[in-house]
């Protein structure tokens, strides 16, 4: 049995330990989802909708437990983890409205268009929003009558486990949402399993490219890819430079810089305008703190970058000149990665 663990990125404490699903376990999860599909897909849409609303209510009831799990496992401050749980609950109404608008039966002069469930779909979730982003795939898939095999990030198995318990408390039948915990090998096995009819992925561009190449051979299967970017932020002739500097810091460092929409590069004019803006920005960076989730929230260091005691420091030395390191943290394998600002 291949055991793996998730850890609190601020303390190194083990949060969750359990077996990674191997090929037989992945096959069993897909079989359970396939067995549950006929009854779930035939269930009246109104009943599926009601069950989703019950899930939203359960999330509201258990929002503190869910937020604490997110904070412990990926390092978000409690206030931000709570907003993630609220987004999960808010996805229900958004999905119901979108389904009614896009998937209703409609007629034209030559025929009738109807929508039907696709089958068993896999969802591969990321670590940066371990509740909200997989939820964004799972909720509309279930509403449409599909069954789901959910493989979460190996850095956030506890959040995924709690999420499935919340679904069970809402009354979701067994097999409709099946959890396959594990690492990259588990995800690759699930993605390649012939028993799934589609896959919804949020994660890196590299993994997304590999999935795109794999699914090019099976055009009858749905593939949805939501991948990260390398986002430039341009500041030019800002009418309010202090406000623009605040927005830049928020864009680059919110969620410890781990949102796919976070600014990675800043482009400013050469000369006095750009110099003044950089000066304002560095002043703001000096006010940021990195620590435990109860403080300002570390990054999930092991998930996104090496710890600052090893290769990341060498990487910083080989990069363009460092303008400002935001904070100083104890050097240990569990220390958060220290954010900074580099010139280039």
Catalytic residues: 226, 260
| 148 vs 302: CA distance, rounded Å | 28
Listed residue (233, 212, 236) closest to 223, CA to CA: 212
What is the greatest pairwise CA distance in the chain?
Answer: 70
DSSP character at residue 287: T
Q: Are 150 and 178 in contact (CB under 8 A)?
A: yes
| 235 vs 263: CA distance, rounded Å | 12
| 327 vs 274: CA distance, rounded Å | 24
Kindly write down the DSSP assignment for every residue of 208-248, as one continuous string: HHHHHHHHTT-TTSEEEEEE---EEEE--S-S-HHHHHHHH
| 59 vs 166: CA distance, rounded Å | 7
CA 293 to chain centre: 18
| 336 vs 305: CA distance, rounded Å | 10
Listed residue (192, 247, 190, 244) closest to 218, CA to CA: 192
H helix and E strand count, the chain? 12, 13
- For strand 3-7 and strand 263-267, is the pairing parallel, antiparallel, or unpaired? unpaired
DSSP character at residue 335: P
């Amino acid at each position: 049995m291949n055991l793996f663990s998730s850890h609190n990125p601020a303390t190194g404490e083990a949060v969750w330990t359990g077996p990674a699903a191997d090929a037989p376990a992945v096959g069993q999860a897909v079989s359970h989802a396939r067995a549950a599909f006929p009854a779930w897909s035939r269930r009246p849409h109104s009943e599926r909708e009601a069950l989703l609303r019950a899930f939203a209510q359960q999330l509201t009831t258990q929002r503190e437990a869910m937020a604490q799990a997110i904070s412990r496992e990926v390092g978000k401050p409690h206030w931000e983890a709570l907003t993630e749980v609220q987004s999960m609950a808010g996805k229900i109404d958004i999905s119901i409205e979108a389904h009614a608008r896009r998937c209703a039966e409609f007629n034209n002069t030559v025929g009738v268009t109807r929508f039907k469930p696709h089958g068993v779909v896999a969802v591969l979730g990321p670590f940066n929003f371990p509740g909200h982003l997989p939820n964004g795939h799972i909720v509309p898939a279930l509403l449409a009558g599909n069954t789901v095999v959910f493989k979460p990030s190996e850095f956030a198995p506890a959040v995924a486990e709690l999420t499935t318990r919340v679904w069970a408390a809402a009354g979701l039948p067994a097999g409709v949402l099946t959890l396959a915990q594990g690492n990259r090998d588990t995800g690759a096995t699930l993605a390649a399993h012939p028993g799934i009819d589609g896959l919804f992925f949020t994660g890196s561009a590299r993994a997304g490219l590999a999935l795109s190449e794999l699914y090019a051979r099976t055009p009858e299967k749905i593939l949805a890819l939501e991948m990260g970017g390398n986002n430039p932020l341009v500041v030019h002739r800002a009418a309010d430079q202090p406000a623009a500097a605040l927005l830049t810091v928020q864009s680059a460092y919110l969620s410890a810089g781990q949102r796919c929409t976070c600014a990675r590069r800043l482009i400013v004019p050469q000369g006095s305008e750009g110099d003044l803006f950089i000066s304002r920005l560095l002043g703001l960076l000096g006010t940021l703190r990195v620590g435990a989730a109860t403080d300002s929230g570390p990054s999930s260091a092991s998930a996104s970058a090496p710890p600052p005691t090893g290769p990341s420091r060498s990487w910083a030395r080989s990069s363009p000149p460092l303008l400002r390191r935001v904070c100083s943290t104890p050097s240990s394998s569990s220390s958060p990665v220290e954010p900074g600002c580099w010139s280039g």
